[in-house]
Structure 1
Amino acid sequence: MTASPSAVGSRVADDHESQLHAAIDICDPAPLLMSLVHVTGDTGLLDEFGSRLTIGEPGNHYRTGTRPTTPPGQYPDDVVADIRARAHELLTPEMDDRLGVPEPELFGRMANVATSERVDEEFVPILREQAGFVLSERRVPVTVTPPADFSVIVIGAGIVGINAAIKLQDAGFRYQVFETRHEIGGTWSRNTYPGAAVDTPSHYYSYSFELNPDWSKYYPSGTEYQKYLKGVVDTYGIAENISLSTRVLSAHWIDDEHVWEVTVESADGTREVHRARAVVTALGMLNSPNIPDVEGMDSFAGTVVHTAEWDENLDLTGKRVVVLGTGCTSVQVVASIVDRVKSLDVVVRSPHWIVPEKSVVNDVPEGEKWALAHIPRYHEWFRLRSYWFASDNLYAMPRIDPEWARTHFSASPANEMVLETALNHLRSSFADRPDLVEKLTPDFRPYSKRIIKDPGFFRALAREHVALHRASFQRVAPDGVVTTEGEFIPADVIILATGFALEFTTSIDIAGRDGRTLAGQWKNGNDPRAYLGIQVSGFPNLFVTAGPNSAPNHGAGHNILSEEHVHYIIECLQYLVENGHDALDVRQDVLDEYNRKVDEALDKTVWVHPGAEINGYYRNSEGRAVVPCPWRLVDYWTLLREPNPKDFDFIDPATPRDERNGDASK
């Protein structure tokens, strides 16, 4: 007998209500309170709970270096109970968002309560955008539709290239994306090694305009992130404009025609030349595997594999495995394969500071997923908190307090907090192994290299079949490895977790005005300098995303860099078409002055003064920090809202646009 439609509908409604109440009992009380304000429109809830929903001392404990009385993310039990009771009372399956996007003043009040910290007015615009409440606001007036002959070529289809395609499409520009690999995804297409994962929270490490409530873990695996990016490509219908397995060989500016000629090569060796008004490089800064030059590597009788070139058919079961490296990749690999191998030897040249982070391996409960998908604005406020606690709160961490640094190993009171957290984790993990504590203690200040969140690495090192060697490879024999300490380690498999070589676009032959090359300008990549980390004098309409001194190394993630740079590029291109210019070229004096300020600001950070000479990708061979952005995220975001016309020389068309033919042909 078939149930009546009314009976089925009743069961669906009951199920929906039970899911709602189950979600209320498990989800984060801070964004839940914000959802109550949205659903009821009652801002009095902010006054009622604001002073009680605390996670530490008033003010920003990360900025001041003071300690919270309660760990971040934990609230008094009675407050949590009261918020959930109110939610059970006020939320229903038919709930709607009555408030919408709060006006800036109210938004600031809500952000203060949601974070239990002071959120100054200057942060409100970036929080509204990055939390997903509003789209990136166009600043240059949009009164002119981009002409058909104004096309753009994007090199790379990773997180930046995909975003560039979406925003160029939205803005009405013709574009084409060329991707060397056989699929989109960039880093997350290449890195498929065991344990590959993002070390930025899932619910923040995504596009602010395309939130995903279905993350399975609080920190996504590389596979899941790649799936997310593929879903974004499908949602926005940009696949037809992406040419896969197509490598860009060169990009040359044609002075008398004001266009770029871009030569590409397909997988079968066929070469084509494309022309475009602008070129956007979206290659990232770490895209070439760093393969160490070790004597005898070719003589090894077993398998040698780099983590960026992982063989999916490689079976490690019962094998003797040697891993070289101790960065984020090595840590993830070791934690992931420890249960499969017969023996595991980890060879560490220079250890990193490693901090505990239990949520790195935690699954997102089904109730939390339901809340993210169904409770009005819960997702946006959840994301806002993820961003807030991993962004400019951390700005003080790598900065040097001269008075403090004179008498401490750490750089400042805030830097000391990270040092103590990492040391406590190290010592408690190996209470009975002082040898491991010694081998795993870095000789540089926290943040001089990337801070690593422990996915189970320390637990793996404590296993009986695992050994740690503070050394590097001296040479490789057919049946194993000889370390720089003279120790022989037998091996069946060698895993090179040695990361990537730092490369800012110079693998491509890029020539600008008067034939000058980008590689020459940047001393073959050793001294890259750009205005805003994006533009180089002499290279009109070339936008180098994720360029020198643009990385948000104190917090957040590559996703915010993607959105900032793409927003700025669209604003520059729109300015050109609005004002009838063919191209813009940043003035050399402007570029030089910007980089003078960059160097001056970096001189106050551990990235330049680590307290010990270290090897790492943040700095070039001369010790200059070429990767980190010295500004707060809010400052850099503000700089990139729109171009300043005074900073550029403009190139005007020799031929009126209405007399031109389209010039994006092959």
Structure 2
Amino acid sequence: MTLISPDHPTYVVPPVTDVDEHELAAAIDAAEPGALLMALVHLTGDTGLVAEFKARLDDERRQAETSATMGRYPAGVAAEVRARARRLLGGTLVPRIAVPDDDLFRRMAEVCVDDAVGGEYVPHLREQGGFEAARPVVPRTRTPPEDFTVAVIGAGMIGLNAAVKLGAAGFRYQVFEERDELGGTWSRNTYPGAAVDTPSHFYSYSFELNPRWTRYYPTGPEYLDYLRGVARKYDLYPRISFGAKVLGCAWLDEQRVWQLTVRHRDGAVRTHQANAVVTATGVLNGAFVPAIEGADTFTGTMMHTAEWREDVDLRGKRVVILGTGCTSVQVVADIVEQVESLAVVMRQPHWIVPERQVGEDVPDGMRWALEHIPYFHQWFRLKSYWWAADKGWAIPRIDAEWYATHVSASPANDALMRVCLDYLDRAFADRPDLKAKLTPDFPPFAKRIVKDPGFFDAVKRDKVSLHAASFDRIRPDGVVTTTGEFLPADVIIWATGFKLEYLGFLDITGRDGVRLADEWADQNPRAYLGITVPGFPNLFVTAGPNAAPNHGGGHNVTSEEHVHYIVESLQYLLENGYAAMEPTRAATDDYNRRVDAELDTTVWKHGGTANGYYRNTSGRAWISCPWRLVDYWTMLRAPAPEDYLFFGDGNA
């Protein structure tokens, strides 16, 4: 994939000249009207459009006696936006207003998303919308010395992000990647139907918007291609050591550096030193395959979705798949046409929502608008993000009085459940047996919500059977379920997810010989802000405990926040003459007390009968971040010195 801005980040918006009138007309017809209206404000300089269309939207809702639906403009308002664009736009598209001041930006955002936008969101949306780079907070009076190096472990979404931002800040770095390909999850998951379940136009870096997505939800291969394009643009490949598995890291107190032990592609084990270490390995790493009696006797083919075998031909095969999560529904929808029969075995159903744009192509006119109409892309990204991020923050929160008498946890939670139940009713009007099997008995968000890529249609096929059970044992010719049913199989597919490991696969030793595995024993990892750990100077954990935005948004958002915080922390060390930093135990404990107290009011901890990876073996919610995305973003603007211990003389 060739990125649109080869010489600068995508928030640098150039004028567009020699516009083809037919392409512009097609783009106006296809463009999302809220984002198109905001682009008109930039291009014409007419800020009166904001108040005019705010009044139009309010009037339409009053007359219809309805509230806004996910920011979708009423047909009359959308038509007027397009008519205005046809009159005002021509052969040259030159913005008269670049990024507006905070007050105008907020008012524009409110009209774009057709919703109230709090002032605290303005700097967050400026950055995440791709209007401007993340604003540094720590002063920049010193440049990193040549001998200060940073080791980044992992070349997935976060590792590449860290490489880009460390390089931009002047830090020397090296990325160690165990595999022979970058991309993390998206180089590992090559199963049929693999796709991102977050919209393309904001599941990307805010500094590298991609107007050329072919689908509103990208396939795995297309997303991997996007990451490769970022690596090429920022010349990251020379700084990535592929086939380099980090075995462990040890803090050398006298030298105040980390020593990494790395097994390289040639089999040799070598040591490397770095002043700071950034772990960008994610938490869902090794494929999880349950230990089932008789698995070694199976005469057919068994494979995990994360270890897909391209040489296996499923045509005409009897296939049994275990799981009904995000991965399983994608596989089932994709392979159903090929197989002779497909038995779907689910230990527990998920709440599944309809999403019309899953699998939907981005029209040519829309892609032209994203690429050529200045600021249209930024506003479209902002609107997509707004309705998929903190608007969902209330949904997992428990109203104790409501939850005492309902499956759902609150009125907000119930509203989502009603959407899911309505979808079940419509999908299985003539199949009450399937509806019963696919209806969970726990509140939405207690497990990950699944967007349907065609799974409901697939399970209604005559060749597909759905079994509410698990595997009891495996025979040479098939599977016996926990209900005693035998399912003949030529192929068994494990759609059972990953081992959830917070760095448990790395031997990390900090100050005074303390091992991270001991600190985080019994599936109870703790970190300050989900990033730093007492006793481990200059160790920065990304995607750490209680850092996942499970109420909405995407992994890309928190990864950018973590990387920003890391760069700010390293710059703080330089500015103040310190060699290293680690959080105090008191600050870490206090932060985690607040995390636990907040999570204690959510379905992530009290989710009825839901089982999954959101809770550890003792029932603690150890994945989810309890804060709104805007609040967590605000916490991570810069390190708070009072919460840290510093090492080194501190002389300026």
TM-score (norm 2): 0.95
Corresponding position of 2:635: 639
Q: Which string of whole-angstrom CA distances, capped at 9 and with x for unpartnered residues, describes residues 446-467 of structure 1?
A: 0000000001000000001000
Does the 8 Å CA contact 2:17/2:93 hold for their aligned counterparts? no
Unaligned runs of 5+ in 1: 1-11, 59-66, 658-666
Corresponding position of 2:622: 626
Where do residues 450-469 of structure 1 align in structure 2 (5 Å cutoff)? 450-469=448-467
**Is 1:47 equivalent to 2:45 in the alignment?**
no
**Is 1:568 equivalent to 2:568 in the alignment?**
no
Does the 8 Å CA contact 1:30/1:53 hold for their aligned counterparts? no
CA-CA distance at 1:14 after TM superposition: 8.5
Corresponding position of 1:648: 644
Structure 2: how far apart are the matches of 1:422 and 1:476?
34
Corresponding position of 1:245: 243
**Is 1:37 equivalent to 2:48 in the alignment?**
no
Does the 8 Å CA contact 2:19/2:92 hold for their aligned counterparts? no
Structure 1: how far apart are the matches of 2:19 and 2:103?
38
Structure 1: how far apart are the matches of 2:434 and 2:309?
31
Does the 8 Å CA contact 2:68/2:114 hold for their aligned counterparts? no
Does the 8 Å CA contact 1:261/1:273 hold for their aligned counterparts? yes
Summarize the Cα distance change of 1:300–1:102 in structure 2 as closer, same or farther, 3 Å threshold.
same
Alignment-mate amino acid for residue 438 of structure 1: A
Corresponding position of 2:5: none
Question: Out of 187, 194, 197, which is 1:196 matched to?
Answer: 194
Structure 2: how far apart are the matches of 1:52 and 1:411?
36
Corresponding position of 1:495: 493
Alignment-mate amino acid for residue 564 of structure 2: H
Alignment-mate amino acid for residue 596 of structure 1: R
Structure 2: how far apart are the matches of 1:532 and 1:243?
29
CA-CA distance at 1:55 after TM superposition: 11
Does the 8 Å CA contact 2:18/2:91 hold for their aligned counterparts? no
Does the 8 Å CA contact 1:501/1:617 hold for their aligned counterparts? no
Structure 2: how far apart are the matches of 1:68 and 1:174?
55
CA-CA distance at 1:50 after TM superposition: 1.3
Structure 2: how far apart are the matches of 1:269 and 1:290?
26
**Is 1:366 equivalent to 2:370 in the alignment?**
no
CA-CA distance at 1:74 after TM superposition: 3.4
CA-CA distance at 1:503 after TM superposition: 0.6
Alignment-mate amino acid for residue 602 of structure 2: T
Structure 2: how far apart are the matches of 1:82 and 1:444?
44
Summarize the Cα distance change of 1:251–1:50 in structure 2 as closer, same or farther, 3 Å threshold.
same
Corresponding position of 2:205: 207
CA-CA distance at 1:404 after TM superposition: 1.8
Does the 8 Å CA contact 2:18/2:92 hold for their aligned counterparts? no
3-state SS of 2:30 partner: coil
Corresponding position of 2:415: 417
Corresponding position of 1:532: 529
Does the 8 Å CA contact 1:55/1:68 hold for their aligned counterparts? no
CA-CA distance at 1:77 after TM superposition: 2.1
Unaligned runs of 5+ in 2: 1-15
Corresponding position of 1:616: 612
Where do residues 365-444 of structure 1 align in structure 2 (5 Å cutoff)? 365-444=363-442
User: Please, what is the CA RMSD of the aligned residues?
Assistant: 1.6
Number of equivalences: 635
Corresponding position of 2:545: 548
3-state SS of 1:531 partner: coil
Q: Which string of whole-angstrom CA distances, capped at 9 and with x for unpartnered residues, describes residues 130-183 of structure 1?
A: 000010011000000111121100000000000000000000011000001110
Structure 1: how far apart are the matches of 2:493 and 2:598?
38
CA-CA distance at 1:312 after TM superposition: 1.6
Does the 8 Å CA contact 2:322/2:496 hold for their aligned counterparts? yes
Q: Which string of whole-angstrom CA distances, capped at 9 and with x for unpartnered residues, describes residues 245-292 of structure 1?
A: 110000000111111000100123111100011000000111111111
Does the 8 Å CA contact 1:55/1:74 hold for their aligned counterparts? no
Structure 1: how far apart are the matches of 2:558 and 2:118?
22
CA-CA distance at 1:56 after TM superposition: 9.1
CA-CA distance at 1:13 after TM superposition: 9.0
Alignment-mate amino acid for residue 26 of structure 2: A
Alignment-mate amino acid for residue 528 of structure 2: Y
Summarize the Cα distance change of 1:13–1:605 in structure 2 as closer, same or farther, 3 Å threshold.
closer
Q: Which string of whole-angstrom CA distances, capped at 9 and with x for unpartnered residues, describes residues 590-643 of structure 1?
A: 10010000000000000111122x321111000000000000000000000000
**Is 1:170 equivalent to 2:168 in the alignment?**
yes
CA-CA distance at 1:15 after TM superposition: 7.5
Alignment-mate amino acid for residue 365 of structure 2: G
**Is 1:123 equivalent to 2:127 in the alignment?**
no
Does the 8 Å CA contact 1:56/1:72 hold for their aligned counterparts? no
CA-CA distance at 1:81 after TM superposition: 1.5
Where do residues 4-153 of structure 1 align in structure 2 (5 Å cutoff)? 16-53=20-57, 69=67, 71-153=69-151
Identity %: 60
CA-CA distance at 1:188 after TM superposition: 0.4
Summarize the Cα distance change of 1:56–1:428 in structure 2 as closer, same or farther, 3 Å threshold.
farther
3-state SS of 1:121 partner: coil
Structure 1: how far apart are the matches of 2:278 and 2:363?
40
